[in-house]
Amino acid sequence: MIQTASRRGFLRGGALAATAALLSPHASLAAANDSNKKESSSPIRLGVASFSLRKFQPQQVIADLKQLRTPYLNVKDFHLPMGTPAEIKQAAAVYRDAGIELTAAGTIYMTKDDDADMRPKFEYCKLAGISLIVAGPTRETLPRIEKFAKEYDIRIAIHNHGPEDKQFPSPLDSLKAVQGMDPRMGVCLDAGHAERAGTNVVDAIKQCGPRLFDMHIKDLTDFHSRDSQVAVGEGLMPIPAIFNALIEQNYKGCVDLEYEIHPDDPMPGMMESFAYMRGVLAGRNDKA
């Protein structure tokens, strides 16, 4: 316990120092450029699930991603509305013109087993240039989703939502549902919800293997309480082991911070979370 606490304290200290440097108006351009070079060489792509910034408009989301020094965004429809084709293309272009890569859309719920309801959601992603849907389906709608995934060549990552989710509480439930389906059908592993469902995240990563398309990361001080969320690094989530498992299986997706607390002022906790995760990755690289 003493060794674990000391290691966590060391990493948290580095994370807080990095956060202070990022927030400082006197941070040098040379230091920022050096940090960006290190980020680009990381084997893990750290991104943001835009639900974290749900109280803010797209231009503020873009500004916040730049402050977090990540171009990767899993976008929700309130940040890229499902409007007319012209509106969807224009909204997506705003992000791309700002250097933001729309890595996924969702969570998009697909609970109605009907072409007329489902096709517009695939059209939306096609128009936005998004090739991955983080989906909230039912078991009954999966065959129809698979049909559209093939037609549009868009991958589907089923999002697990913990014990309250009667369809897919654990990523292993998602994995079981897509076994034998088209390779475009896969899993979005939400770490916090997985642990609350009694699933060991590291083991789940290994079991999902190539079916793991996306990952949402959060931290909890109590794996039995969804209300115990804290900044990443302050809770029980085994972030170093998670990163090691992803790197060992050559994971190519994103690890998107989904910071669900403090919706009116999320950036301090998001900055701390990114600094901690970058500190873990930097420490891993130093030992390599």
What is the DSSP annotation of 187-208?
A: EEEEHHHHHHTT--HHHHHHHH
Is the per-residue pLDDT at 26 higher than 70? Answer: no
Q: What is the mean pLDDT of residues 141-168?
A: 96
pLDDT tens-digit map of 105-114 = 999 999 999 9
- pTM assigned to the model: 0.86
- Asked if 199 contacts 172 with a C-beta cutoff of 8 angstroms, the reply is yes
Confidence grade of residue 34 (pLDDT, cut at 50, 70, 90): very low
* Counted domains in the chain: 1
Say if residue 146 is exposed, middle or buried (CB neighbours under 10 Å; 0-12, 13-18, 19+).
middle
User: Both tokens of residue 185?
Assistant: 């059908």
How far apart are the C-alpha atoms of 157 and 163, rounded to whole Å? 19
Confidence grade of residue 42 (pLDDT, cut at 50, 70, 90): confident
Q: What is the CATH number of the domain that holds 59?
A: 3.20.20.150
Is the per-residue pLDDT at 4 higher than 60? Answer: no
Is the per-residue pLDDT at 74 higher than 60? Answer: yes
Say if residue 62 is exposed, middle or buried (CB neighbours under 10 Å; 0-12, 13-18, 19+).
buried
Confidence grade of residue 29 (pLDDT, cut at 50, 70, 90): very low
Is the per-residue pLDDT at 125 higher than 70? Answer: yes
Confidence grade of residue 22 (pLDDT, cut at 50, 70, 90): very low
Note the pLDDT of residue 283. Answer: 87
Q: What is the mean pLDDT of residues 206-218?
A: 97
Beta strands in the chain (DSSP E): 45-49, 72-75, 101-110, 132-137, 155-159, 185-190, 212-217, 219-220, 229-230, 254-257
User: Both tokens of residue 150?
Assistant: 């093939």
Q: Which domain holds residue 268?
A: 2-287
Note the pLDDT of residue 96. Answer: 98
Note the pLDDT of residue 7. Answer: 40
Q: What is the share, in percent, of the chain residues with pLDDT greater than 90?
A: 82
pLDDT tens-digit map of 239-249 = 999 999 999 99
Note the pLDDT of residue 39. Answer: 53
Classify residue 273 by its DSSP letter.
Answer: H
Q: What is the share, in percent, of the chain residues with pLDDT greater than 70?
A: 84
Confidence grade of residue 286 (pLDDT, cut at 50, 70, 90): low
pLDDT, the chain, mean: 88
How far apart are the C-alpha atoms of 277 and 210, rounded to whole Å? 23
Is the per-residue pLDDT at 102 higher than 60? Answer: yes
Note the pLDDT of residue 135. Answer: 97
Note the pLDDT of residue 35. Answer: 45
Note the pLDDT of residue 284. Answer: 77
